[in-house]
A and B are shown apart, each in its own frame.
Chain A
């Protein structure tokens, strides 16, 4: 059944792409210079992260090439620099530029995974709430309301803390990735659920759904095959905006020391490492990963803003 739904969304996405090139959305994209720049910026950063193993000048995980003697070398243009390290090195002698590429990769993987997990959770609960209505709806939406009262970062922190308590004995390096995605997904599902529920409630009264119901198709198939493809539009917008938010939240958690471990550093972990050296003059260890993070988030945010405005008929 999950096969069916991915097929469905894939064809839907392909059709949307074809229509997009000729739509006013695409034109509004070309019209806004900032958005084009943001799109290019996002693409470049994504590619850098994706191909990090190929383009990074050093492999920060290859212990054979790392020497502690190279630790805390300043960036190229400063005194005592080493031409091998463009942006300098961190406290263990890892090349910072390569570290940033790899860190961005980890940040993006965590970001994407948690957005997808949150979307799946939120869409499922939203569909069920909207389609079933009644008590199921009331319970799910009350939970959503309560959760909305709390900032996502707090929820993520609490879940992370609780998960540590439960899995405390297990290996941290393996589990922190999953704990992180789990806590981010649980913090961000509400928006999807609310949106999908709203559109599901509209869709379920339309003729095609009623027809499907009359010929006896089970509720679950109606939800997945008939309603789901019609409510995914707004989900895309939320997902884009949430990607930026997820990246920031992940970086924050890693910075606070409850996210990715130093052996698999995300951008947040790199900043946390660098923060300890800020006072001793080795500013680049914290500042460069931070700038990379800010650039990444800014670009994704700009894209999300544009997408939201472009898909909002009220503003056209």
Chain B
């Protein structure tokens, strides 16, 4: 319950920030009217839009419309911001999902291997590669991948989503066509590489620690086969921090999607947000702020709950 309250407060603070941005940075009226509009007309519009009301009233109205997914009209596109976002959300979510899957599917086995075979040269290669992966900025990884696989080898496309299929009224997916899947490969590797190295290092560190505990020694002493010890007993106990990090990194993935989407001209929310920053399109910026804040807060909330479900010790302490 306390967590829920905290989450609400965070959202309220972020909403206040978004509102401040929306209302005070860049005059909304100036953006809506042409140069020839007279001062009287501007004042009338101001009155009609309620911009002369007391600030708390305006804030309340802002929240009310935000809850109903109404963020005003984009300065650049002259379209409702919510429509623009709806069109772009599927692209970002599919990209984030694909890179999270990539990070987990590749990172976890690498981490397990490096943790169990600490001295082998393969683990050392993994570790050095991961260090390079952490040091390379996301956008440069993208450029390198494009350079090798799109420009030189011409295997994979370097921009866009490929062919997409419409599902329902607004969701579009690239998962169902060959070109869509191909277009997904490079961006999701770019986006997921950092998370992959992070997960690998984390699992390795946790494995090294768990392997030394008494219950693992005892399990070995009982004569259980290595595989059972490693996967049933050891791996299970490394998963708690992995879930936390993965959860928190989901937020980071969505944030870094901005960069990846720019490199690959991926038509998602991030690309739109970046264009909004470049063109000072305040409604899109404040809507993006609110949406990502909502995403992060809900992710944190879910991770907190998962924590209690996975680790029985925490449940006992609480009771």
Q: How far is the CA of A287 from the CA of B151 in the complex (A)?
A: 13
Which of the candidate stretches B90-98, B129-137, B172-180 sits at the interface with the other chain?
B129-137
Whether a CB of chain B sits under 8 angstroms from the CB of A160 is yes
Whether a CB of chain B sits under 8 angstroms from the CB of A83 is no
Which of the candidate stretches B62-70, B101-109, B142-150, B233-241 sits at the interface with the other chain?
B142-150
Known: A158-B289, A278-B147. A301 touches B135 (CB 8 A): yes
Whether a CB of chain A sits under 8 angstroms from the CB of B255 is yes
Q: Please, which residues of chain B bring their CB within 8 A of the CB of A293?
A: 137, 140
Q: Name the contact of B276 in the complex, choosing from A161, A248, A278, A301 (C-beta under 8 A).
A: A161
Q: Which residue, of A154, A158, A293, has the highest number of chain B Cβ atoms within 10 A?
A: A154
Q: Please, which residues of chain A bring their CB within 8 A of the CB of B296?
A: 149-150
Interface residue tally for chain B (C-beta within 8 Å)? 43
Whether a CB of chain B sits under 8 angstroms from the CB of A264 is no
How near does chain A come to B262, taking the closest CB pair, in angstroms?
6
B297 touches A149 (CB 8 A): yes
Whether a CB of chain A sits under 8 angstroms from the CB of B282 is yes
Q: Name the contact of A294 in the complex, choosing from B14, B136, B280 (C-beta under 8 A).
A: B136
Whether a CB of chain A sits under 8 angstroms from the CB of B278 is yes
Q: Please, which residues of chain A bring their CB within 8 A of the CB of B147?
A: 278, 283, 286-287
Q: Please, which residues of chain A bring their CB within 8 A of the CB of B134?
A: 301
Interface residues on A, range: 35 or more
Whether a CB of chain A sits under 8 angstroms from the CB of B300 is yes
B151 touches A283 (CB 8 A): yes
Whether a CB of chain B sits under 8 angstroms from the CB of A157 is yes
Q: Please, which residues of chain A bring their CB within 8 A of the CB of B246?
A: none
A151 touches B140 (CB 8 A): no
How near does chain A come to B74, taking the closest CB pair, in angstroms?
14
Q: Residues on A close to B: CB < 8 A?
A: 146, 149-151, 153-154, 157-158, 160-162, 164-166, 168, 244, 248, 251-252, 255-258, 271, 275, 278-279, 281, 283, 286-287, 290, 293-294, 297-298, 301-302
Can you give 23 A-B contacts (C-beta < 8 A)? A146-B14, A149-B251, A149-B297, A151-B255, A153-B255, A153-B259, A158-B277, A161-B276, A164-B280, A165-B26, A168-B280, A252-B137, A252-B138, A256-B258, A257-B278, A258-B277, A278-B146, A279-B158, A281-B151, A290-B143, A298-B131, A298-B132, A298-B135
Further pairs besides A256-B259, A278-B146, A301-B135: 6, Cβ < 8 Å: A149-B300, A157-B277, A158-B285, A255-B137, A271-B140, A286-B147
